A = this chain, B = another copy of it.
Amino acid sequence: MAILERIHLEILRAVDRHGSLTAAADTLHLTQSALSHSIRKLEDQLGVAVWRREGRGLHPTQAGEYLLAVANRLTPQFAHAEERLRQFAQGERGTLRIGMECHPCYQWLLKIAAPYLAAWPEVDLDVIQKFQFGGIGALFGHEIDLLVTPDPLYRTGLLFEPVFDYEQVLVVGPGHPLRDSSHVQPEQLAGEILITYPVTIDRLDIYTRFLTPAGISPKRHKLIETTDIMLQMVASGRGVAALPRWIVEEYAGQFAVFPVRLGAEGIDKQIFLGIREADADIDYLRAFLALARARRDSTEQRQQER
């Protein structure tokens, strides 16, 4: 069915550039005879001559001119495609699809993204926050390549690694009675308005690890999407929230908000990165993990210095 092949286009181009079959054969690492046979067969199959043979010269016919134009258009695209695929093979190029399962994760990712994109110019990032079957499912189903989550699920085929430790604290406004307390007990929140991100209660540590074990509920529960607005509400005394300590510290200059330890021990949390085991040797993915790891180490050091 198919008559015209890449090799024919390469031959047309080479002959055009080098002026003769013989010269073209050298650059294509074939013999003059091979090219002659090749084009002869093409001409037979198409029923049209590509060249006029005049003495020892070859001059393109109208069909040959047309075919040469096609060759000049298509041949570079083959070469380019092969180069691209080589980059894919080397792990230099690709799209890293990152799934996020927690709001603080996103704040963390923003800090990693900039240096990563600079180091891997041929890699695109794609951040996805809605999954049909949860983050783990998305990882398994190849919807994403990397999962950023506080809840690792060690399963065969998946690899998880902690990349960020932090303390989850209560955030209160400047006029709040708990503002200067060393810590807060669950009972002290019974009369409070609690502001959280709009997710189910079983994914909120302040419930699962603080209020629910003590059998306490806040007076009211408000849902707010963004961190800025949440902190604005807290600063103006309209409620309290639970957030990572480092986020509270980061916003301290902007809003009058104050961290209070949750319980005497505090609630310690970790963010994990999860990947498919099969992807463990993709360069740009390893590089992301390495960057996250390096950042973790330097952060720990800073925290110890305090």
Contact = CB atoms under 8 A, between A and B. Distances in A.
A139 to B, nearest CB: 14
Given A4-B78, A6-B6, A52-B142, A85 B66 contact: yes
Report copies per complex: 2
Contacts of A46: 82, 85-86, 89
A78 B4 CA distance: 7
Nearest to A59: B142
Interface stretch (A69-77, A205-213, A253-261): A69-77
Interface string A68-104: 0010011001100110111011100011000000000
Contact of A62 (B63, B82, B94): B94
Interface residues of A, number: 35
A1 interface: yes
Nearest to A278: B52
A74 B66 CA distance: 16
A287 interface: no
Interface string A118-135: 000000000000000000
Residue from A82, A88, A90 whose CB has the most chain B CB atoms within 10 Å: A88
B4 A81 contact: yes
A10 interface: yes
B81 A77 contact: no
A48 interface: yes
A78 B2 contact: yes
Contacts of A81: 4, 66-67, 70
Contacts of A62: 88, 94-95
Given A62-B94, A89-B47, A82 B4 contact: yes
Contacts of A88: 48, 62-63, 66
A73 B77 contact: yes
Q: What are the nearest 9 A-B pairs in CB distance?
A: A47-B89, A48-B89, A63-B88, A70-B81, A48-B88, A46-B85, A62-B94, A4-B82, A4-B78
27 contacts: A1-B28, A2-B6, A2-B10, A2-B82, A3-B82, A5-B5, A6-B6, A46-B85, A46-B89, A47-B86, A47-B90, A48-B85, A48-B88, A48-B89, A59-B142, A62-B94, A62-B95, A63-B85, A63-B89, A66-B84, A66-B85, A66-B88, A70-B77, A70-B81, A73-B77, A74-B77, A74-B78
Interface of A: 1-7, 10, 28-29, 46-48, 52, 59, 62-63, 66-67, 70, 73-74, 77-78, 81-82, 84-86, 88-90, 94-95, 142
